[in-house]
Amino acid sequence: MPIPSYPVLFYKPATSLTGPFAPIPVSHMAQSCPGLDYECELVAVIGRAALNVSESAALSHVAGYAVGNDVSHREWQLKRGGGQWSLGKGFDGWAPFGPGIVSSSIITNPQNLRISTRLNGQVVQESNTRDMIFGVAKTISFLSQGTTLLPGDLIFTGTPQGVGMGRNPQLWLKDGDA
């Protein structure tokens, strides 16, 4: 896909959040067609309120970082959801993250972290956050323009190449995958 001029944004409701090893429920609606995909992402945890912050000040609002899986149903995200990405990404239990949050005092540069996904023991995504189109500071600054980010807000920052949708043949998640 072409590189966007601005970060592509969507939300996941609080009911999407779950632990890193919890089963991912797949609602009846999401079972109606194939397209269940994985996306490893760096998650920034907001530690203090941020409104209209500059890119240079953005990281000072981060309490810490975790890893997350932006579980997505591509058919509902791109076709059946009418272009509203939140529908295809916001089902209950579709934002596992953790198992821990590393303090921003330890991770002072979130743009140099290895990130990967294993599916059934095989590496299917492997990259570094330095390859992100929009860095963490830029994303937080952009999100905070006119919208207050609050302590505890989680920002999933984007996924590297290797998602199931981009493979040939496509690789969709199925019951029992780990």
Work out the average pLDDT over 13-25.
95
Closest CA to 42 of 114, 90, 91: 114
Rounded to two decimals, the pTM is 0.93
Q: What is the pLDDT of residues 126-169, one digit of tens each?
A: 999 999 999 999 999 999 999 999 999 999 999 999 999 999 99
Distance CA 110, CA 131 (A): 11
Residue carrying the six token digits 């999933």: 156
Work out the average pLDDT over 33-62.
97
- How much is the mean pLDDT over the chain? 94
DSSP the chain: -PPPSS-------GGGEE-TTS-----TGGGSSS-EE--EEEEEEE-S-BSS--HHHHGGGEEEEEEEE--EEHHIIIIITTT-HHHHH-STT-EEB-S--EETTT-S-TTS-EEEEEETTEEEEEEEGGG-SS-HHHHHHHHTSSS-B-TT-EEE----S--GGGSSS-----TT--
Q: Do residues 40 and 67 lie in contact, with contact meaning Cβ atoms separated by under 8 Å? A: yes
Work out the average pLDDT over 70-74.
95
The whole-number pLDDT of residue 118 equals 96
Work out the average pLDDT over 9-15.
88
